[in-house]
Structure 1
């Protein structure tokens, strides 16, 4: 990360020649992240007049591990170049704040879309478009030797053109160590995403380890959530969820008891293959891209341009209709954060569970070992 006011690296776009807070006009706050230690802004770059998203993070409130995650996310964005991976355009330090500049995805996350207008889930065609773009991003990351470890609906972002991008690289794990790619990973330091999306082999925390197939399980959970509008296991305690994931059948698509079926046989097959309890039997992201489930988006009369129409009446975020924060410059971050009772944000990208949840995971793992 560059200090404020220094010249950027060649890897940054030429539209951002100076990295300093005064180079951006903050329009309005649209969400929070990182346990509400970060405020997410809709902003405009003064020089290029480009609308962007800015995250202002109070580094004083982060633990050492969280600071390392933040630095890793900014660093990894330099060499990840794919149309379906959400990039950082720039990052810099201003006082005790870390500012990161990202691309605006006008429809927000898939979680936002469901909350705004689809409480019972999206249509199968929209789901196919979203998951196809997400799998292309995962296939790229896996080829590069990374495990994402944070595939949730809050990290599946939909743009104005209907294409989806995968965010949340802060959770990503590099499988290359000293130039050698490890087949299995054994890093169980702390939960890096909300528990319902984690694969069973990650929750087990045993000597068998896990690999990139854990991301495929997360894709299956996302598919069920997109279809029904409800996160699997969300209504359970951590211990109950862990026991069910390790001992019971995985979540599936649920058809209505009467009337025509809502989901195709190909969609059922896709979800079941992703959520197989045995990671060795789960297909890779590259192989899933060839699944018959995606034939419906490859018809001549079909295209990604249909996505904005299919998610109507959810409207994209329009910067022109937002009120400017003010001409006095950016407010101190402390004045925008309520540490006692943080408000419910419009866009919530918080993925790290509280420490109590982490303790509950350890307790649940101990319960499984005893049984």
Structure 2
């Protein structure tokens, strides 16, 4: 028994095809949620629910607490490469089933170039198949493991976060909290388009037609996602939390991209919470919040992402970074503006961070064309990857 959530085509929005004026308007005034059917003027979208039309090539990752396998596949009728996520529903708890259902429904309604699109969703027996566009560069966490074990350059980080924050701002404008911002949920296409995934943890502030200022929903988050969560979400007190908690996660993700490591990954939950609540704002250069080098090498070699979502294994045929580079990371510097931006995301007053961080990423100077675009991301990645091949060995 198969079913498809949508057979309509969605037009792909490309910033390079817009005028300077329309691009500026797009960045400042993000589109709001619309429940109308997507445009049908788009290019090819794969909507086949025939399982025989998909030729699985290789498993490229695991997600959803290891319940979902992620595959690179080919749609045989068209030859199009796609990503296929397969989940055995019989192994999912009721809470997990609700999370999957929510992600599928919301992905159908959200239409934004920086939000991951589900082309087709259907079941084959007890197996859920989700078909989505193939993101050639994979996730940002995969890039860290494979090419940037000591972290990315500031230019590349800012461009990647720009796309992720655009998608996040769209969710916030529609009253939704993502609750799982992390490098493994930031996907990058071959042409440099950055999209935000991991919608299974998303929660809406709108209930019974009214938008609430705070929510008190505290699901049983996996311990692997806790390093990215904000103090107000981890506290689980009567104050609740809102969309501003995502801004804290953006700051942690910036540290992750800058250092190649996940902050607080080896800390006990209580110690982590105390450090987040009482500790001073930290930066990507603070070594006290990162795992020790031995743990770091283990994580980098394994190719297994620590979080939930579109994490990707590094298969035996891909390039891996020489372990000597992991033991002796070079000194790294970041601009004062970037460090201040990260610290602002991580400060205790979420009001200030929310008021500053979104405009900082999304607004432009007076009439100036935004410097961030998909070409810049692809160009930065291509140059960075090419520059690292001299110090990379093949398995």
Normalising by structure 1, we get a TM-score of 0.77
* 1:46 counterpart residue number: 76
* 2:257 counterpart residue number: 226
Does the CA contact (< 8 Å) of 1:41 and 1:55 recur in 2? yes
Please give the alpha-carbon distance, in whole angstroms, between the structure 1 residues aligned to 2:203 and 2:384.
33
Q: Report whether the alignment pairs 1:288 with 2:360.
A: yes
Change (3 A) 1:305 1:53: closer
* 2:128 counterpart residue number: 98
Quote how far apart the aligned CAs of 1:296 are. 12
* 2:245 counterpart residue number: 214
Does the CA contact (< 8 Å) of 1:114 and 1:229 recur in 2? yes
The gaps in structure 2 that reach 5 residues or longer are 11-43, 288-329, 389-395
Q: Report whether the alignment pairs 1:202 with 2:233.
A: yes
Note the alpha carbon deviations across 1:235-277, whole angstroms, 9 max, x for none.
Answer: 2122211121122123313289xx9971101101110111111
- Give the one of 346, 349, 356 matched to 1:278: 349
Please give the alpha-carbon distance, in whole angstroms, between the structure 1 residues aligned to 2:227 and 2:4.
42
Please give the alpha-carbon distance, in whole angstroms, between the structure 2 residues aligned to 1:236 and 1:18.
45
Does the CA contact (< 8 Å) of 2:364 and 2:370 recur in 1? no
Count of residue correspondences? 308
Quote how far apart the aligned CAs of 1:35 are. 2.4
Does the CA contact (< 8 Å) of 2:89 and 2:128 recur in 1? yes
Change (3 A) 1:17 1:229: closer
Change (3 A) 1:39 1:17: closer
The gaps in structure 1 that reach 5 residues or longer are 316-371
- Listed as ranges, the matches of 1:4-15 within 5 Å are 4=2, 6=3, 9-11=6-8, 15=45
Quote how far apart the aligned CAs of 1:125 are. 0.4
Note the alpha carbon deviations across 1:306-358, whole angstroms, 9 max, x for none.
Answer: 2222431499xxxxxxxxxxxxxxxxxxxxxxxxxxxxxxxxxxxxxxxxxxx
Please give the alpha-carbon distance, in whole angstroms, between the structure 2 residues aligned to 1:281 and 1:251.
16
* 2:106 counterpart residue number: 76
Aligned residues: CA RMSD = 2.8
Quote how far apart the aligned CAs of 1:217 are. 0.3
Change (3 A) 1:15 1:125: closer
Does the CA contact (< 8 Å) of 1:157 and 1:164 recur in 2? yes
Change (3 A) 1:314 1:82: farther
* 1:367 counterpart residue number: none
Please give the alpha-carbon distance, in whole angstroms, between the structure 2 residues aligned to 1:212 and 1:164.
21
